[in-house]
Homo-oligomer: A and B are copies of this chain.
Amino acid sequence: MTTDLASRAQADYDALVAQGMKLDLTRGKPSAAQLDLSAALLGLPGETYRAADGTDTRNYQGLQGLTELREIFAPALQVPVEQLIAFGNSSLELMHDTLVHALLSPLPGAERRWVDEEKVVFLAPVPGYDRHFAVCDRLGIELVAVPMTPEGPDMDVVEQLVAADPSIKGIWCVPKYANPDGVVYSDEVTRRLATMPTAAPDFRIMWDNAYAVHHLTEEAIEVADVLALAAEAGHSDRPFVFGSTSKITLAGAGVAFLGASETNVKWWLALTAKRTIGPDKVNHLRHALFFGDTAGVAAHMAKHRALIAPKFAALERILTENFADTPGVSWSTPKGGYFVTLTVPEGTATAIVKLAKEAGIALTPAGATHPGGEDPQDAIIRLAPTFPPLDEVEKAMAGVAVCVKLALATA
């Protein structure tokens, strides 16, 4: 790196700082314009409160959630309607609570409660979702990182670990448009996850299908049906499937789903029956009326795509313009989901995030994509372009490019 380049990079950065920006690419939040797509929800259900089967949604009961809403989302989540639960406003809490149940009551197939195990370990494909890792930290579940490949987790590593160690009780998976690298699990990876021998009899796949219908291209990518594959392999209780409308309707006021084998669902509902009389069925009805049917969800997602695909395209354009020929800098080009992963030369990610922060551009902390917040390569930056308006995304990303260049020039 010549001094010329370094001083130009410094000058550009100084100019950036001088702009006094205040921009944020940290979290996968829908923008106000996306939320406006669901404006009709705010007046629903209006005059009606009866479900299709006559249930008065206003009163207690109905632990599994409204049938017509489960029918609408069953195909996208690849879960039979009778094995799908519609619940509260957060799939994260369904994941958390499922692990709490497993800690405090034996899972189907388990020899004992997980709190009575010497230790409980989950596999964390990295880069991955920081909130998954935080749930485990909070519950005393240890995380072991396994590498991601362009097809999903490195299954050679996964298979070896789970076959050998009965304390490994689960794996986190975001099978489609994974957070943060946009990876779509290949059918072969899903098959291997569903069929692999595990030392733990109570091994579980936490199948967080958060972006099941969140396509960024014409292509509506499908992943393999993990519940069906697991059942065929004699491991029907292995997967817990999660999803939500948080990034479909309203991020704070949507509906979350849990799907699993009949046995798992029965177990989960029996424990949950001690916790609550039932979820908010009026919100279920509100959503069922809003969508009408499964096709209604797809039509709605096309509107989201029209709003956010240009933001992802802006990232792609700015990154290509600046780093097409830069060794060590690469990025994901996701076909769906909410994130772009920017890979920078080893040891520079933290510095770049810090430079950006000082220039008024908030980025997710480097390392957040790894267990314990520690990326051993210090090379992964997660970019979330959906929340700010397009012009701000462009400004922020151009600013990030300036920061990357300065970090590389002074590394």
A positions within 8 Å CB-CB of B: 27, 29-30, 32, 35, 38, 42-49, 56-62, 88-90, 92-93, 96-97, 100, 103-105, 115, 131, 134-135, 137-140, 246, 250-253, 271, 274-283
Task: Verify B35–A42 contact, CB threshold 8 A.
Answer: no
Number of copies: 2
In the complex, what distance in Å separates the CA atom of A97 from the CA atom of B30? Answer: 29
Task: State in angstroms the CA–CA spacing of A332 and B275 once bound together.
Answer: 29
In the bound complex, do residue A135 and residue B92 qualify as a contact, i.e. CB atoms below 8 Å apart?
A: no
Min CB distance A134 to B, Å, is 5
A135-B275 contact, Cβ under 8 Å, with A42-B45, A280-B253, A282-B253: yes
Interface centre among A42, A135, A139, A283 (most CB of B within 10 A): A42
In the complex, chain B residues whose CB is within 8 Å of the CB of A57 = 252-253
* Chain A to chain B contacts (Cβ below 8 Å), 17 pairs: A27-B60, A35-B56, A42-B44, A42-B46, A42-B282, A43-B46, A57-B252, A58-B251, A58-B252, A60-B246, A60-B252, A89-B280, A96-B276, A100-B104, A104-B139, A138-B275, A252-B282
The answer to whether B43 and A59 touch across the interface, beta carbons within 8 angstroms, is no
> Which residues on B sit within 8 Å (CB–CB) of A274?
96, 131, 134-135, 137-138
Once A89-B279, A90-B277, A250-B282 are accepted as A-B contacts, the answer to whether A38 and B60 lie under 8 Å apart by CB is no
